[in-house]
């Protein structure tokens, strides 16, 4: 859906998102006059505004959240034909670019995860600090976190919470959820947070006991890791030689995927005289960040949400895009549809 074409209005409320590592991210993207850039995670438009200000270029902004797209309508107007907003998943960025009339683009940028607007809206159900329906969907469609929590088997719940939340008490949390929902379905964020708190004890100076469980459910419900991997491959196909890919991630599971993908695409594969079936592949990206860039203390002090951010960037070479990805890049978990059957 294009901005201004009927997205639901946004009710006042939460403060706008403060862009994390914005200057560095747009610096690595290196916008140039006449270029076309995809901002795959439009959010509050912080990155997009900076790209539009940096050069006389065009931006296609994508977000799966219709409230973000609706909020961007003013920016679309100010940009006077230089910004197109599309409500969609960023894994579809290749088709989105082609629909907008571009077979190739000069840059693709992602600032992963949720925005402050999403996190701070009780009715979106992302935060254990605010009481609201246990939703956690970035878009308005598909099963919610409550659907998963109330239908999944104890085994699947434990697997999701362990793998995507890195929660070592995952089995106990899954059991507590199953015991609680026998009495009544778990419908709100506070209900789930209380259930988790019965088995994960807070330790001094530690994060809230429900943090890991909420993270796991959010990543699972939105298929965030599958989206990321598909989007990296789409960026590989749509970037022009010399085009730039910039990714800001917020937890180790995301950063691992970006790192392994770029390491794989950033290395040439030599052909072999002894195994002629192994073909020579030139590197597809030149990696620009040997180590990920992280925010400095000032940025973290100003914006605590920046504390776990990692930026990686790479420049597309002339080599043809490859198919396939390194094995085990995505964790082994059952599909959302089969989890909902409760096996």
Ligand X SMILES: C[S@@+](CC[C@H](N)C(=O)[O-])C[C@H]1O[C@@H](n2cnc3c(N)ncnc32)[C@H](O)[C@@H]1O
CB of 52 to ligand X, least distance (A): 12
CB of 248 to ligand X, least distance (A): 8
Site size toward ligand X, by CB under 6 A:
21
Q: How many CB atoms lie within 10 A of CB 15?
A: 9
The dihedral through the CA atoms of 248, 254, 256, 261 has a sign that is negative
CB of 285 to ligand X, least distance (A): 21
Structure tokens at 182: 């026998």
Q: What does the DSSP assignment read for 228-275?
A: HHHHHHHHHHHEEEEEEEEEEE-SHHHHHHHHHHHHHHTS-B---SS-
- Judged by CB, which is closer to ligand X: 62, or 195? 62
CA distances from 273 to 50, 270, 277, 280, 282 (A): 49, 10, 9, 10, 17
Local structure of 114: helix, strand or coil: coil
65 is an interface residue for ligand X by CB under 6 A: yes
68 is an interface residue for ligand X by CB under 6 A: yes
CB of 43 to ligand X, least distance (A): 3
- Judged by CB, which is closer to ligand X: 55, or 75? 75
Q: Are 306 and 20 in contact (CB under 8 A)?
A: yes
63 is an interface residue for ligand X by CB under 6 A: yes
CA distances from 263 to 18, 23, 74, 289 (A): 30, 24, 39, 11
Q: Cα separation of 122 and 264, whole Å?
A: 40
The dihedral through the CA atoms of 150, 213, 246, 265 has a sign that is negative
- Judged by CB, which is closer to ligand X: 191, or 224? 224
Draw the binding track, 7-36, toward ligand X (x: CB under 6 A; -: no contact). ----------x-x-----------------
Stretch that binds ligand X, among 7-15, 76-84, 112-120, 187-195 (CB under 6 A): 112-120
Draw the binding track, 69-98, toward ligand X (x: CB under 6 A; -: no contact). --------------------xx--------
The dihedral through the CA atoms of 32, 36, 39, 42 has a sign that is positive
- Judged by CB, which is closer to ligand X: 19, or 35? 19
- Judged by CB, which is closer to ligand X: 171, or 305? 305
Span 220-279, contacts to ligand X by CB under 6 A: 227
* Sheet with 310-316: strands ordered across: 83-87, 58-63, 36-39, 105-111, 239-249, 310-316, 285-287
Among 7, 52, 61, 64, binds ligand X (CB under 6 A): 64
CB of 53 to ligand X, least distance (A): 13
Nearest-CA neighbor of 267 among 249, 251, 279, 285?
285
Stretch that binds ligand X, among 37-45, 161-169, 198-206, 294-302 (CB under 6 A): 37-45
Span 113-152, contacts to ligand X by CB under 6 A: 113-115, 138
Stretch that binds ligand X, among 2-10, 63-71, 207-215, 327-335 (CB under 6 A): 63-71
CA angle 165, 169, 173 (to 5 degrees): 85
- Judged by CB, which is closer to ligand X: 191, or 227? 227
Q: Are 188 and 133 in contact (CB under 8 A)?
A: yes
- Judged by CB, which is closer to ligand X: 17, or 244? 17
Q: Are 94 and 62 in contact (CB under 8 A)?
A: no
Stretch that binds ligand X, among 41-49, 98-106, 279-287, 331-339 (CB under 6 A): 41-49
- Name the site residues for ligand X (rule: CB under 6 A): 17, 19, 41, 43-47, 62-65, 68, 89-90, 111, 113-115, 138, 227
């Amino acid at each position: 859906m294009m901005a201004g074409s009927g997205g639901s209005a946004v009710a006042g409320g939460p403060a706008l998102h403060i862009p994390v590592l914005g200057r560095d991210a747009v610096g690595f993207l290196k916008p140039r006059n006449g270029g076309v850039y995809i901002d795959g995670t439009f959010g509050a438009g912080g990155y997009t505004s900076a790209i539009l200000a940096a050069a006389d270029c065009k931006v296609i902004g994508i977000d799966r959240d219709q409230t973000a797209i609706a909020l961007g309508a003013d920016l679309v107007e100010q940009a006077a034909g230089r910004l197109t907003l599309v409500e969609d998943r960023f894994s579809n960025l290749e088709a989105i670019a082609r629909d907008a009339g571009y077979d190739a683009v000069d840059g693709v940028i992602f600032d992963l995860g949720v925005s402050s607007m999403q996190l701070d809206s009780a009715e979106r159900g992302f935060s254990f600090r605010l009481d609201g329906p246990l939703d956690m969907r970035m878009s308005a469609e598909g099963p919610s976190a409550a659907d998963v929590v109330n239908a999944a088997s104890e085994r699947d719940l434990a697997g999701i919470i362990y793998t995507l939340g890195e929660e070592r008490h995952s089995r106990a949390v899954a059991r507590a959820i199953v015991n609680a929902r026998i009495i009544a379905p778990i419908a709100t964020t506070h209900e789930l947070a209380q259930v988790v708190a019965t088995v994960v004890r807070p330790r001094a100076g530690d994060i809230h006991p429900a943090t890991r469980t909420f993270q796991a459910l959010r990543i699972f419900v939105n298929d965030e890791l599958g989206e990321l991997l598909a989007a990296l491959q789409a960026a590989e196909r749509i970037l022009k030689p010399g085009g730039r890919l910039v990714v800001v991630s917020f937890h180790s599971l995301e950063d691992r995927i970006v790192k392994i993908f770029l390491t794989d695409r950033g290395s040439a594969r030599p052909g072999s005289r002894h195994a002629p079936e192994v073909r020579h592949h030139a590197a597809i990206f030149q990696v620009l960040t040997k180590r990920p860039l992280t925010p400095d203390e000032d940025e973290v002090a100003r914006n605590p949400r920046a504390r776990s951010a990692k930026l990686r960037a790479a420049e597309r070479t002339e080599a043809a895009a490859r198919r396939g990805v390194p094995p085990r890049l995505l964790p082994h978990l059952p599909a959302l549809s089969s989890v909902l059957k409760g096996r």
